[in-house]
Amino acid sequence: MTGAVAGADGLLRCTWGNSAEDYRIYHDTEWGRPVRGDDALFERVCLEAFQSGLSWITILRRRENFRAAFDGFVIEKVAAFTDADRERLLQDAGIIRNRAKIDAAVANARAALELPAGLDALIWSYAGDPARPAPRTPADVPATTAESAALAKELKRRGFRFVGPTTAYALMQACGLVDDHLADCFARGGGTAAA
């Protein structure tokens, strides 16, 4: 496998970042950049859980629907969801209508409220080693790490659902706890595309 691939604009990107316009935008503006704040991280935990077993582009294309359906992923609001909210979500064709994942989002909100230092502090305490060598090819990017396994274990211990080591690692990648942009990708280290 090769490293980053040039897009139509000439920028070298992680291979997946050139595969669809939605992916390009997400890759260039969001993936791998630090996400802070309890509600912002809660959104990402939920979206990664909903993605389980599906392609990420399915989630990206429904993201605004998810935000509307889950009250902007404000933890306190989602934690207060009732059975009526659950039934409303199960009827919402704009999101993934999976009962177990919907129930997990509500349970995860309630678990997040119980975290003494908050979700941000818990998740960021598992940030990867910034000195880790940059992956040169997609094959160099792991699916899990010791840190993602430890984060998943701690989240589960605290009552979270749909947060296995692979999902936890995808969360870590998406939220900038690790930088898995390929070594020759323009976005490595927080690089941005020219406007």
Give the model's confidence band at 193: pLDDT under 50 very low, under 70 low, under 90 confident, else very high.
low
Q: What is the pLDDT of residues 129-185, one digit of tens each?
A: 878 889 999 999 999 999 999 999 999 999 999 999 999 999 999 999 999 999 999
Q: Tell me the one-letter amino acid at 81.
A: F
Query: What are the sequence ranges of the domains in the chain?
Result: 38-127+140-175
Token pair 């969801």 is at which residue? 81
Q: What residues pair up with 12 in beta bridges, in sequence order?
A: 6
Mean pLDDT, rounded, of the chain: 94
Pairwise CA distance, residues 70 & 33, whole Å: 23
Catalytic hit among 16, 30, 56, 154? 56
Q: What is the pLDDT of residues 56-99, one digit of tens each?
A: 999 999 999 999 999 999 999 999 999 999 999 999 999 999 99
- The pLDDT, as a whole number, for residue 100 is 97
Instruction: Indicate if the pLDDT at residue 52 is higher than 50.
Output: yes
Burial 66-80 (b: 16+ CB within 10 A, else e): beebbeebebeebbe
> What length is written for the chain?
195
Whether residue 76 lies in the annotated active site: no
Catalytic hit among 26, 31, 126, 169? 26
Do the beta carbons of residue 171 and residue 152 sit within 8 Å?
A: no
Pairwise CA distance, residues 190 & 182, whole Å: 12
Instruction: Indicate if the pLDDT at residue 1 is higher than 60.
Output: no
Name the H helices within 93-133: 99-113, 119-124
Whether residue 124 lies in the annotated active site: no
CATH pick for 38-127+140-175 out of 1.10.340.30, 1.10.3370.10, 3.40.50.720, 1.10.1060.10: 1.10.340.30
Whether residue 43 lies in the annotated active site: no
- The pLDDT, as a whole number, for residue 192 is 62
Q: What is the pLDDT of residues 101-137, one digit of tens each?
A: 999 999 999 999 999 999 999 999 999 787 888 999 9
Pairwise CA distance, residues 42 & 49, whole Å: 11
Do the beta carbons of residue 52 and residue 98 sit within 8 Å?
A: no
Instruction: Indicate if the pLDDT at residue 3 is higher than 90.
Output: no
Please check if 14 is assigned to a binding site: yes
Q: Which pair of tokens denotes residue 10?
A: 């000439």
Please check if 175 is assigned to a binding site: no
